[in-house]
Amino acid sequence: MIKADAYGVGAAVAARALVGAGARTFFTATFAEALSLRRTLGAAGRIFVLNGPEPETVARFEDIGAMPVLNSLAQIALWAGRGACAVHIDTGMNRLGLSPHEAGAAAERLAGAEVALVMSHLACASTPAHPMNAVQRARFMEAASVFPPAPRSLAASAGAQIGADFLFDMVRPGIGLYGAAGLDGDNPRLATVARVTAPILQVRDVAPGATFGYGATDAAAAPMRTAVAAIGYADGYPRAASSKGFAFHHGRRLPLLGRVSMDLLIFDASAAPEIRSGDTVELLGDEAHIDDVAAAAGTAPYEILTTLVGTVRRAQEAA
């Protein structure tokens, strides 16, 4: 999955790394993403566009060697008489995709066309034991049977961990490529692919009772050393992590004090007495693992990547 600028880490960088690792099939959400990806890949590699064709893009797929994922009978009609495609069956997300009862009609209308892939997407794969997974698998097998001999794909990162019965002919890893396994519990720790650091602008010693940030939501219960870092919600750091976030300085965890400001964070640096202005702290990386950062903000690793990593990376590129 290279959609959403490769989950914020940069589509071009990610695509080149994945090609080097042996990947030859890629998915984007939009045609514009596919166009950019083709420029990176050159002539090599297959590209599927998850959102399918639109009237203004349908004639351009062949030009860039991309295939649409057809999600409705209307998109099938739009694509009629053109090249290879994929078909998406909705088996329980109620998002994109043909309903299972439309599969027969879709197969008839695509008779003679090359269906390069039949796919669906699991709603509850992050909980491997959820009964919905088996329900969707059964629906998928029945609907996909009308498209022989097209390869089948049901599992993304989390689904690939449920069991061999969910792997079919292709898995579509997304978040698993970028540092998180995608499970709600017992999440295996994957290698870090993105690191966010920020410089310390000021260090100060405060007395008991001192308060921190807007609203004075936190106060020092004892003498404390604090460090102010140059990053905030304007950089994609989640405001929901106020009073719950953290940073690391040379292996020491520094709790976040008070509310997240637009471009400043205050940390309890009492555990790092050697910290100085000009030092850097890690907000995301090997120590500040993405799963822990997301949990502190009450969100998912996907959002941390696309907002925090994406915003910081683009700002650095612009500079």
Identify which of 253, 267, 288, 277 has the alpha carbon closest to the alpha carbon of residue 213.
267
3 in active site: yes
From 3, 7, 178, 237, active-site residue:
3
Contacts of 136 (CB under 8 A, 6+ apart): 91, 92, 120, 122, 123, 154
Four-residue CA torsion sign, 124, 166, 50, 70 = negative
Four-residue CA torsion sign, 120, 126, 127, 128 = positive
Residue 41, SS3 per DSSP: helix
Residue 97, SS3 per DSSP: coil
Q: What is the DSSP letter of 262?
A: S
Residue 75, SS3 per DSSP: helix
Contacts of 128 (CB under 8 A, 6+ apart): 158, 161, 162, 163, 183
From 7, 214, 237, 244, active-site residue:
214
Phi, psi torsion values for 303, nearest 5 degrees:
-70, -40
* Alpha-carbon span 307 to 291, nearest angstrom: 15
- Cα 98 to the center of its chain, rounded Å: 24
214 in active site: yes
Residue 255, SS3 per DSSP: strand
HSE (side-chain half, CA atoms, 13 Å) at 225: 13
Active site residues: 3, 214
